[in-house]
Structure 1
Amino acid sequence: MKNKELNYVKNVIKLNNTSSIYKDLKEVFEFDENGIPKFVNGEALYLAWQAIKNISSDMEQELMEQRFYRNSEERYRESIQHHMKRIDGNKFMMGSDKNAKIKYCGEEPKHEVQLNSFLVSDIAVSSELYKQYNPKAEITECDNMPAGNLSWYDAVMFSKWVNCRLLTEAEWEYASRGDSKGDWCCEKEEDLSKYAWYSENSDGYIHEIGRLEPNTYGLFDIHGNLWEWCADSYEKDYYARSPMYSPLNNSNTFKKVCRGGSIHAFSEMCRCNFRNYESIDFYAADVGMRLAKNVE
């Protein structure tokens, strides 16, 4: 089914005919009688969205706003709003100092960032929530488990379906640390097992959401369990030219940032500063997502 949806969209776009794209992509953004999207392949939806966006804002308004986004705010209020934590805008130092005891490629230079206030979910997207969007998703059957096996495309399109977005890389780093002055949301590495399922305590299994302590911002599982997709593209040298205000690397690359570590990650990979990336279409059981939203 995934390949069928993707091939359909690619073939329509290949025609490079505005009237055909409009007519044939209409059904991509339709719902069935139960309110479930007919197309749920993230890459297919994303490519279709970009195609109509490049043609005209009116077409995007009709096919996205009036179809795919329809009732998205209602879905947000019913299933997500009560999980959202407000993070007030602030300045912080992002990245790792050149003299840091632990640092990996891409973490330098340390630089000042100014963020606007934003909302972030206190938990990762659950299997129960994701199955409202795609009941046939190849994810765990347990409702209170985090939804994995999601590509960046899947994460972006699901977040839009519920009137949210992904965290930027800068927002993720700031939110993950909370009030901690250490490398994690806790001051000491020996305390990490109180907050994170990682290589030292996970036994190689993904765990239910919210079983460990939250950070000082009230966010559960911000380290470990599943990697979390961010909105940004990954470039090793991005920090050297990153803007100060609300940075977002939206360059057209196929590498996308994921943060936080997973059940297989060593402690240093769970650090707030650690930058990881995967291909835009990569998916694995230990890669999921967390929702964010602008403060209105």
Structure 2
Amino acid sequence: MITVPAGRVTLSDRRTQRSWALDVAPFELADCPVTREQYEGVAGDRHPAHSVSWFDAVRYCNELSAREGLAPAYRWDGEDVTWNRSADGYRLPTEAEWEHACRAGTDGPRYGPLDEVAWHRGNSGERLREVGRLLPNAYGLYDLLGNVWEWCWDVYDAEVYGGYRVLRGGGWFDEHWSCRASVRRRSHPTLRIDDVGFRLARSIGG
């Protein structure tokens, strides 16, 4: 886990032409997406875990927290999930945390040249690639752009899309314009597809 410093990030939505600024407290973020070795127990498999729904990802966070003696971050009531923000267990990053971590102090669309930092349709061979093979950003975080889209905690737009959750980062099958720090995508929390995975976060001082 990498400690990401506090900061302020401006999010934007191309669909609504809206932007909004948020403060981000220090937190921890895994240096790579969760791998198949971690998620499925496939020994030595460093490809990102994929075809993981938002509900699957949240459940895994709680299971891993319990295994390590940490307080689970999420509480379930049927399909309603609430976040205990004082818990020290694993969780999904918020959308603001994700973009702040991705940018790592930069203000352009990417934290480095696309082919050097991200697996996308133009260089992936149209398949998943092992994590950590390209250059990290200034915080030491790999694969935030490309390879797999990553689930965030946030609801995308409850008034229009109900419980759809935010996805960030672009994937191995996406064109270059989707692999940018600001791009937002959305999907139903039950979606399982081969270019969607997730990354672990933890609160500091919870």
Q: Contact (CA 8 Å) 2:111, 2:137: kept in 1 or not?
A: yes
**1:257 is the counterpart of 2:183:** no
Which residue of 1 is the match for residue 74 of structure 2? none
Q: Contact (CA 8 Å) 1:212, 1:221: kept in 2 or not?
A: yes
Correspondence for 2:56 among 143, 154, 176: 154
Superposed structure 1 runs of 4+ greater than 6 Å apart: none
> Cα RMSD over matched residues?
2.0
User: Using the alignment, how far apart are the partners of 2:63 and 2:43 within structure 1?
Assistant: 21
Which residue of 2 is the match for residue 201 of structure 1? 123
- TM-score normalised by L of structure 2: 0.82
Quote how far apart the aligned CAs of 1:141 are.
7.5
Which residue of 2 is the match for residue 165 of structure 1? 91
How many residues align? The count is 181
Quote how far apart the aligned CAs of 1:180 are.
1.7
**1:270 is the counterpart of 2:179:** yes
Quote how far apart the aligned CAs of 1:105 are.
1.4
Which residue of 2 is the match for residue 178 of structure 1? 104
User: Using the alignment, how far apart are the partners of 1:181 and 1:254 within structure 2?
Assistant: 30
Which residue of 1 is the match for residue 37 of structure 2? 128
Matches within 5 A, 1:83-102: 84-95=1-12
- TM-score normalised by L of structure 1: 0.58
Correspondence for 1:223 among 145, 153, 157: 145
Which residue of 2 is the match for residue 246 of structure 1? none
Quote how far apart the aligned CAs of 1:253 are.
2.9
Write the letter of the residue equivalent to 2:129: H
By percentage of residues, which structure has more strand? Answer: 2
User: Using the alignment, how far apart are the partners of 2:173 and 2:159 within structure 1?
Assistant: 26
Relative distance call for 1:157 and 1:236 in structure 2 (3 A) is closer
User: Using the alignment, how far apart are the partners of 1:273 and 1:237 within structure 2?
Assistant: 21
Pick the structure with greater CA Rg: 1
Q: Contact (CA 8 Å) 1:260, 1:271: kept in 2 or not?
A: yes
User: Using the alignment, how far apart are the partners of 1:185 and 1:159 within structure 2?
Assistant: 27
By percentage of residues, which structure has more helix? Answer: 1
User: Which protein, 1 or 2, shows the higher relative CO under an 8 Å CA cutoff with sep ≥ 6?
Assistant: 2
> Deviation string for 1:94-139 (max 9, x for gaps)?
226xxxxxxx314x4222211111100000001111124xxxxxxx
Which residue of 1 is the match for residue 154 of structure 2? 232
Which residue of 2 is the match for residue 282 of structure 1? 191
> Deviation string for 1:66-104 (max 9, x for gaps)?
xxxxxxxxxxxxxxxxxx0111112232226xxxxxxx3
